[in-house]
Amino acid sequence: MILFDIETTGLNPVRDKVLTVQLKHDGKIVMWKLWEENDETKIIEKFFDYIKNSNEKIVGYNISRFDVNFLLARMLMNKKLTDNLLKLVDSKNWVELTEFQKNNHGLDNWLKELSIPRKSPVTGRHIPTLFELKQYDKIVEHAIDDLVVCEEIIKKLNLKI
């Protein structure tokens, strides 16, 4: 299983950018950061290169409705979307954690219902401001926390993924 998430400057892939693409795989966090690469398409491509040869399920919260579509839209906006990339995305086994949620009132509400605490006080709404202020460590803290809480949801619900 590969846990997957992204952080962005907003919700609109036409004007907003991908700041991080992160995953947790075999107990290790891997994160590609815009402020280190200075090229949004490179961090997206590195993620897709990472999963290219994997047959493992790729799991996350709202990934099929937001994260994957945002990445593809950004590749399109940057004129880097290819048929091969679309085929790769179609070939993967994406597991949407929202499918296991009784009501879709957001991740934080679900965490409260499941009594799963967050370690980071940062929310997704803070990310654009933190990026402008170059407080990258707080973005990383939030990104890792998102992966960890998704892993905790899987454990708490005893999901066999």
Residue 78 lies in a domain: yes
Q: What residues make up the domain containing 36?
A: 2-156
Residue 83 has pLDDT above 90, yes or no: yes
Q: What percent of the chain has pLDDT over 70?
A: 100
Residue 111, CA distances (Å) to 23, 41, 71, 106 in order: 19, 32, 25, 9
Residue 51 lies in a domain: yes
Query: pLDDT averaged over the chain?
Result: 96
Q: Under 8 Å CB-to-CB from 111, ≥6 apart: which residues?
A: 117, 118, 149, 153
Give residue 14's pLDDT band: very low, low, confident or very high (50, 70, 90): very high
Residue 44 lies in a domain: yes
Backbone Cα Rg of the chain: 15
Q: Under 8 Å CB-to-CB from 151, ≥6 apart: which residues?
A: 3, 24
Q: Which two tokens stand for residue 132?
A: 């402008």
Residue 161 lies in a domain: no
| Residue of 25, 13, 44 whose CA lies nearest to 150 | 25
Quick: pLDDT tens for 118-136.
999 999 999 999 999 999 9
Residue 88 lies in a domain: yes
Residue type, 108: D
CATH number of the CATH domain containing 58: 3.30.420.10
The answer to whether 115 touches 109, Cβ cutoff 8 Å, is no
Reduced to 3 states (helix: H, G, I; strand: E, B; else coil), residue 93 is: coil
Domain count within the chain: 1
Residue with tokens 């400057």: 9
Residue 82 phi, psi (nearest 5): -125, 160
- The CA distance from 110 to 130, in Å, is 25
Residue 41 has pLDDT above 90, yes or no: yes
The answer to whether 87 touches 61, Cβ cutoff 8 Å, is no
Reduced to 3 states (helix: H, G, I; strand: E, B; else coil), residue 101 is: coil
